[in-house]
Each structure stands twice: as structure tokens, then as C-alpha cells.
Amino acid sequence: MAAVKPRVKVPKTASADEVITIKTLISHPMESGQRKDGDGNPIPRQIINKFTCEFNGQTVFSCDIEPAVSANPYLEFTAKVSEAGMFKFTWVDDDGSVYTEEKEIALK
């Protein structure tokens, strides 16, 4: 499988208690399990089924993903920043692989 590459956009700084927007994208085929190959055999499902965003160890946002989400799943959500710290993003694949990415944010 092609290398899975997560990409995340987080502002570098924020004022205290500001609500920031985070955008994430991960390259992944999100094989739905509905398609058939040339010989009519179903292609097994392989999707990213869970995404979590943590800030300094506390969960900010998470989602349960189903096959109806497009290939290269894109997620945009918000977070309230009350202190400087580290955002940690985790994607969980059907095959058990876990992809992570970290971004730091400072206070203005």
C-alpha cells in the first residue's frame, strides 16, 4: 500500500481561550468493501475507522469513521486553547496500524 501520510494544519500561536480551527488530511484509499475487482470478487474493506485529537493528554475531539467517508479523509474541527502545548492526532486503520502526528502551539 502506498505510504500513508498525515497532514495537519494548526495555527502556530493563539491567544488564551481562543477557539482555533484545525484541518487534517490523511492519504488513505478508504476501501469501502463494496467494490469488486476485475474478476467480480469483492475487494476487502480497509478504512481508517477512528480519529482522535488530544491536547496535552486530554481528548479534544474524536470521531468514528464509516466506509461512507471519502478516500483521503479530510476533517476540520475546532479546539479551545487555554495554554501552550502539544496537539496529538491519531488515526486508527482497520488493519491495526496507527498513524500519529504532533503539532505545537504557543500562546500570544
Residues near other proteins, by CB under 8 A: 19-20, 32, 34-36, 55, 58-71, 73-80
Q: How far is the CB of 19 from other proteins (least distance, A)?
A: 4
Judge contact between 61 and 1, C-beta under 8 A. Answer: no
- Select 57 or 96, whichever has its Cβ closest to other proteins: 57
- Closest listed residue to residue 23, CA positions, set 87, 69, 99, 75: 75
- Select 59 or 100, whichever has its Cβ closest to other proteins: 59
Judge contact between 44 and 36, C-beta under 8 A. Answer: no
Q: How far is the CB of 20 from other proteins (least distance, A)?
A: 8
Specify the pairing of strand 98-107 against strand 13-14: parallel
Q: How far is the CB of 32 from other proteins (least distance, A)?
A: 7
In whole angstroms, give the CA distance from residue 18 to residue 45. 39
- Select 40 or 96, whichever has its Cβ closest to other proteins: 40
